[in-house]
Structure 1
Amino acid sequence: MANSLLISLLQIYLLFLSFSTCALGLAKFYVVDLHDLTSKNVCSPPKDMEKIKSVKPTLKIVDRQGPCSTLHPAEKLSPEQILSNDQSRVDSIHHRVSAIAGKGTTSGPLSPSQITAQSGFSYGLGNYIVHVGIGTPSKTLTLEFDTGSDVTWIQCKPCQTYCYKQQEPIFDPSQSSTFMNVSCNSTPCNDVSGNFCEGSSCLYGVKYGDQSYTVGYYAEDTLTLTPDMIQKFRFGCGQNNKGIGDFGEVAGLLGLGPSSESFVSQTSDKYQRVFAYCLPALSSSTGYLNFGSNSDISNTNHIPITKRPNSGPYYYITMTGLSVAGDTLPISSAVFSNAGTIIDSGTTITQLPPDAYQALRSAFMKHMTQYKMVPGSSTLDTCYDFTGVDNMTIPSVSIQFENNVSLDLVHQGILFGTSRSQLCLAFAGNSDPNDIGIFGNVQQRTFNVVYDIPKGEIGFSPDAC
């Protein structure tokens, strides 16, 4: 009887530890139930988010491949495909940032015959989707949201060249009483990517680094974010759209980058260029995306948005260090400052300068010697087989930023994978120390991440979804 009681108490203690960190000396570790690292087959109810219920509008965020998604592609992407697409996006971001900095070349405005030669960033089949309404009457569409993109676009009839299969009916401009084409040579037309003219109508063209592209009319219509209605919102009305996996059956993309044609800038009068999101811990959970000056919540640490000339569709931040199990790693801050860092909701895996990644990898491996290492992929090279393990102990990982802000990652932000037989350290090293670092979405999980553009800062508060 005493033994049974002791075992029960031990189980309760381990369950408690699976949701918290424990201190072993000065070191910090997570004792994790393996079930907390793998997604369920059913959609979990959202966390009670009293802190954001007053915020309007609030869009539900879901993982496009999880059970909460309304998308049902014929085949889901494997972890290898997700990582391959992610690496394509990373390579393209590196190329574009290098070009913006004057280390390469970029194309000018597009003509219709040049669209296949335009170089942008990789679409990459980003992880997270939201639902918005377009037109009058409003038609609900599923869009990927992306802080690393500026132009919002959807597929539109009559699809003069090619439209891929999407979940909802393709938007028909003729059925909306508020649809209008943007005029050629207008300021909005001159601002949009790849602009050119067809008669008096403005056309746009965006080609991503993975060879995905969208071309069509630049238009305006009513955008509905329940309960708000945004009049004369400008977006790309795609007539020729092609991408990896045909963009995973989404209807298009919601661009939350910093430029003048992005959603954030177009709605500045209403939402003051402030928005926030929380990415769920697992693909079987939900998060949120909301807009407005009341998007911030308590217990928030803020870091500056670094100002850069010609920054493109990116938000730059300053990473300063890393710690593992409570110990700060011996990495010079110059390793981070020389390359710089952006935060990106569309990149999955955080990319570090090579010296920083090697220091992180070595420190992490030192605390994981009790587990069997297995081969990884070209992207993730520090992987473990936890077959037969119910509760594992992993070191905590923290990322330091400017203003002495330290983010303690949740355990779902440390390991990446879909099976016990291969869970990997969810970081990667850039091949070139001068390549930009990227703070990816796995490490952002469960934080309320608030972008306050007028104040020039991004805030993080833990345990938000």
Structure 2
Amino acid sequence: MVNVELGVEKSIAIDVHHHLVHIKSLLPSSSCSTFAKGPKRKASLDVVHKHGPCSLLNNNNSKSRILPTQSNILDLDKERVNYIHSKLLLSSKNNKIDQKLASSANLTAKSGSLIGSANYFVTVGLGTPIRNLSLVFDTGSDLTWTQCQPCSLSCYNQQDDIFDPSMSTSYSNITCTSSDCTQIYAATGRDPRCARLTNACIYKIQYADESFSEGYISQERLTITQTDAIDNFLFGCGQNNQGLFNGSAGLLGLGRHPISFIEQTSQLYNKTFSYCLPSTSSDTGYLTFGATNDSDVKYTPFSNVSNNSSFYGLDIIGISVGGTQLPISSSTFFSGGAIIDSGTIITRLPLTAYVNLRDSFQKGMTKYPIASSFSILDTCYDFSGNEMIFIPKIRFFFRGGVAVELAALGILYAESLDKVCLAFAANEDDSDITIFGNVQQRTLKVVYDVGGGKIGFGSNGCK
């Protein structure tokens, strides 16, 4: 068994089975921390939380925005998870009924993403000359899109200037007869339409919270860094956009469909990317494209998830709490399968696994006052009278002998110091898919080797 020791710079291991956590580290600072900028590799972008002080979306010059409450955010997270479950269930049922029918059927499913709950964004350049855009990145979405002038129907408020294709010398529309147009259905769940006068390909993508973007499928020069640019990158140039986008300019799709960023840049980055999500919203992580040479990264193979190619599957073998392996059969996780998702906040576990994890965690926390439940989180504590707390470590075990120890701030979710909760929730039953969410991924070095069919985890990734 390979053991990957994964800690947080704001927690101290008091023994091999517990974290010592400074209470102040549970909530973000009011100012942006600059020490955790991530490795400055060839194609690396800073990752920031869209609601934190590092976000340009929240600076003093931004348009007035009302930030969502923690309860609002978790409500959106619940909707995203419900939709992922329903989309995969629909795919699975069609697959069981008839393999041929499933592959050709016009399913009514929308995109498997809920952008309102996706927390993290990066800044990229689009067009010639370059226009910088802040895009939410999402491993559960495929189509990259941004709002475009002249916003013929509707555009929401965003921090960046809205992209104007008429001002770029490298922009072009895709025609309806192009093969690039015909493949849009699989990425959006909707058939493309054709502009009557211009023969331009029109997409529409709608998310589980009824947010949507509609516009032209186009080609443009996408700039990642000063040395890395992709010509003729396919993206959605949105003319009609509404929903919970929170000031970002659109979305960067990191899924597995041929139109995704990962597939379109396969010759440049060999279908490999990695990221580190910061410990709090006042810290900074990174998103890097291309191979990593980090020797401490341990890999587990991707698993197949239903008949859907957008999500990245995992095989979870077991979980331990405070050094004790939980009495959960690996078949509990295999029943519904598992994915890793950058846009889901709270990890969802099979009901049997969650009850075991929760009960074991509670046994290690009896010295702390219990607080009332919070949204989808039912195990909460009042830490307001403490300077430091002790919490049991939690490890996940994946196929291939990989053990991943969660950071302290990958175990807890704080609404306030008097309401800090275990950052896990239960599915309705064991047949629903397990989702390894972004709280649990905090500070981990997560490496997606899509071409190699594997995903890796390493320690202290944001340093």
The alignment's TM-score, normalised by the length of structure 2, stands at 0.90
Percent identical across equivalent pairs? 43
CA–CA distance in 2 between the matches of 1:109 and 1:188?
18
- 1:148 is matched with 140
Determine the structure 1 residue equivalent to 2:450: 453
Correspondence 1:342 to 2:300: no
Contact 2:37 2:46 in 1 (8 A): no
Q: Structure 1, residues 143-182: CA drift from partner, whole Å, max 9, x if none?
A: 0000000000000111121111111111111001110001
Q: CA separation in 2, counterparts of 1:398 and 1:233? A: 40
Preserved contact between residue 111 and residue 141 of structure 2 (Cα < 8 Å): no
Cα distance between partner residues in 2 of 1:125 and 1:360: 25
Please tell me whether the aligned partners of residues 117 and 344 of structure 2 are also in contact (alpha carbons under 8 angstroms).
no
Asked if the contact 1:146–1:346 (Cα under 8 Å) also holds between the matched residues in 2, the reply is yes
Higher RCO (C-alpha 8 Å, min separation 6) = 2
Which of 250, 253, 259 aligns to 2:251? It is: 253
2:154 is the counterpart of 1:162: yes
Say whether the 8 Å CA contact 2:88–2:306 is kept in structure 1.
no
**Among 259, 281, 284, which residue is 2:282 paired with?**
284
TM-score, normalised by the number of residues in structure 1 = 0.90
SS for the counterpart of 2:116 is: coil
Distance 1:268 1:316 in 2: 20
Q: Is the counterpart of residue 215 in structure 1 residue 203 in structure 2?
A: no
State the shift of 1:126 in Å: 0.9
Q: Which has the larger displacement, 101-110 or 399-408? A: 101-110
Match of 2:239 in 1: 239
- The whole-number CA distance in structure 1 between the counterparts of 2:423 and 2:299 is 24
* Cα distance, 1:119 vs structure 2: 2.8
Q: In the alignment, which residue of structure 2 is the partner of 1:43?
A: 32
Letter in 1 for 2:111: G
Instruction: Quote how far apart the aligned CAs of 1:427 are.
Output: 0.5
**Residue 412 of structure 1, CA deviation:** 0.5
Distance 2:246 2:37 in 1: 30
The yes-or-no answer on 1:119 pairing with 2:105 is no
**How large is the RMSD of aligned CA atoms in angstroms?**
2.0
**1:353 lines up with 2:340 in the alignment:** no
Distance 1:342 1:136, change over 3 A: same
8 Å CA contact retained: 2:45, 2:288: yes
Cα distance in structure 2, aligned partners of 1:186 and 1:18: 52
| SS in structure 1 of the partner of residue 88 of structure 2 | helix
Question: In 2, distance between residues paired with 1:190 and 1:317?
Answer: 30
Of residues 86, 98, 109, the one that matches 2:89 is: 98
- Does residue 132 in structure 1 map to residue 102 in structure 2? no
Letter in 1 for 2:235: F
Report the CA distance shift for 1:183/1:21 in structure 2 as closer, same or farther (over 3 A): same
Give secondary structure in 1 for the equivalent of 2:160.
coil
2:18 counterpart residue number: 29
Partner in structure 2 of residue 419 of structure 1? 416
Which amino acid is 2:157 matched to? K
- Secondary structure (helix, strand or coil) at the match of 2:259 reads coil
Distance 2:231 2:10 in 1: 48
Three-state SS of the structure 1 residue aligned to 2:166 is helix
Do the aligned partners of residues 143 and 376 (structure 1) sit closer, same or farther apart at CA in structure 2, a change above 3 Å counting?
Answer: same
Mapped contact 2:116–2:246 kept (Cα < 8 A)? no
Residues 345/48 of structure 1: CA separation in 2 closer, same or farther (3 Å cut): closer
Structure 1 position 118, deviation (Å)? 5.8
Shift of 1:291: 0.6
Secondary structure of residue in 2 paired with 1:249:
coil
Between 154-163 and 303-312, report the one with greater CA deviation. 303-312
Give the partner amino acid of 2:166: S
